[in-house]
Chain A
């Protein structure tokens, strides 16, 4: 949990510059995933709830990609990734606890 010592002119400690190519690659990945989602949901309609689960799963993958590359988590201090994880854990706990109540009614 030690915080990074700032260097003397108070610039961000993380200097990584992502390349344009990396950003473009990220976009292509995201578009592909979107395509898969649409295909699964529109054409896999008979899978019913399963298609929702898949769609959400893919959405989660997309979110991770956006956060990791576009939002620079990959190159930032580990602290940020841990905090994002904390928020996700909390949200999942809220939904799971609420769901337990409704499913067992």
Chain B
């Protein structure tokens, strides 16, 4: 057996060089960055598709593409955004990079499995994108692949569902690795209740990844089998039931929305203490509410099917449980706001993203409540109101948290700094563009415009127009933000020390960037819990 002996003064970028030293690296930090670069690539593809869709919806009638192409656009957009971007996003990038460091260890429990999961992710991504260039074209079913249409259409659905199946494995392996890491590798003295909240969030997320993903795996496999063998498993003419497909799909896909949201909550719980310089308010409440969300989240999938003709009893139960899941989220929001109270607040780009997160996630959450109520969902189901809802939670929530995290940990990861002023301007444009893009969708949804509509009635024109203009504003902000981050690599002159934001969790005790073994000296835990600013260990350069 061997122990880890630490090597001083080399960071993880140094050491082995070259492409192969990256794509075959078992170092969690390099794997995290591999995820970051691949994920951003797919994100750019996804948003470009989104922009094209918005352009098509600028005016009624044809603006750009044919109906069938539009349908393929939103399907591919949804598949990329869900399976390639947002589900892996925070766990695979920042979880991989920072979880071991925050726990005070040198890697995850299964480093090779970790690398394997990145490879599987790339394989799945290639499969998903391959439909663009070969076969009968990308699927045109929507990311939900509802039977029986998904079984009948001539487009390449089989490849798309198999890709999602493969991507599921990648997600499972990440989750599995994190659970074991959290159980086994916390540094001595760090009990569960002294873990940073980001670790708690990842812990809850990982349980969803492990326990929900298999269900969608098998369901999508059935769709593929059905198409290949020509049997109608979900086809009433042989005794099947299309609604059963929806149950199985949402048994996974509702919990999956918390795979997207919980890590983002974790990010916010890290950013707030750092920029208020005080302990988080209600540590336990925030930690346990993550578990509560993960648990209750399993039992409310039916709210996606309120108009499918479910029995009244089932609608009653699912609607009631849906409302219950709002409670732990409410607890988090209140505790975050209370954390600002009597802090010493340093307004920096990461904090701006966190505040925007809270605001936008609230809008997303409240529209979720409107959808969770039976009467209103009967009207709003499958309208652009739903589209507005989920972009608010996914993009306005998780997306913003992702970019907040990028701004927060940028100096730690690369040891450099971006231009803060430009970052603030980019944020402002981003924020305005975002709300201009998605708020009108809520309005047009209330007016009754169904989603997945290539063309629409004239009375829906104005909000759609505003929305499309908003997408251009948003794009400007995003380009400025990414440009600023990238140019930070080249123009940053300042040498960044260990702790530019005066943070307290363990990653700030090591060098920026961290050494290959994560620490060049033994990490020291604050006395009373991870955010105990009163007993903050002093950090010498």
Contact = CB atoms under 8 A, between A and B. Distances in A.
Interface string A1-18: 111001001100000000
B311 interface: yes
Interface string A44-66: 00000000000000000000000
Contacts of A104: 311-314
Interface stretch (B183-191, B220-228, B437-445, B506-514): B183-191
- Majority-rule SS of B interface residues: helix
Interface residues of A, number: 18
A84 to B, nearest CB: 12
A19 interface: no
Contact of B183 (A3, A100, A101): A3
A9 B183 CA distance: 18
B298 interface: yes
B317 A97 contact: yes
B287 to A, nearest CB: 12
Interface residues of B, number: 20
A46 B471 CA distance: 67
A1 B318 CA distance: 31
Interface string B299-330: 10010000000111110011000000000000
Contacts of A3: 183-184, 186
Contacts of A94: 215, 251, 298
A67 interface: no
Contact of B1 (A9, A98, A101, A103): A9
B255 to A, nearest CB: 10
Nearest to B212: A90
A100 B313 CA distance: 7
A85 interface: no
Contact of B298 (A10, A79, A93): A93
A101 B251 contact: no
B192 interface: yes
A6 B211 CA distance: 27
Contacts of B191: 2
B247 interface: yes
- Majority-rule SS of A interface residues: helix
Nearest to A6: B184
Given A9-B1, A101-B247, A104-B312, A90 B317 contact: no
Nearest to B251: A94
Contacts of A1: 192
A103 B251 CA distance: 18
26 contacts: A2-B191, A2-B192, A3-B183, A3-B184, A3-B186, A9-B1, A10-B1, A87-B211, A90-B211, A93-B298, A93-B299, A94-B251, A94-B298, A97-B299, A97-B314, A100-B313, A100-B314, A100-B317, A101-B247, A101-B311, A101-B313, A101-B314, A104-B311, A104-B312, A104-B313, A104-B314
Given A10-B1, A101-B247, A101-B314, 19 more contacts: A1-B192, A2-B192, A3-B183, A3-B186, A6-B184, A9-B1, A79-B183, A87-B211, A93-B298, A93-B299, A94-B251, A94-B298, A97-B314, A97-B318, A100-B313, A101-B311, A104-B311, A104-B312, A104-B314
Interface of B: 1, 183-184, 186, 191-192, 211, 215, 247, 251, 298-299, 302, 310-314, 317-318
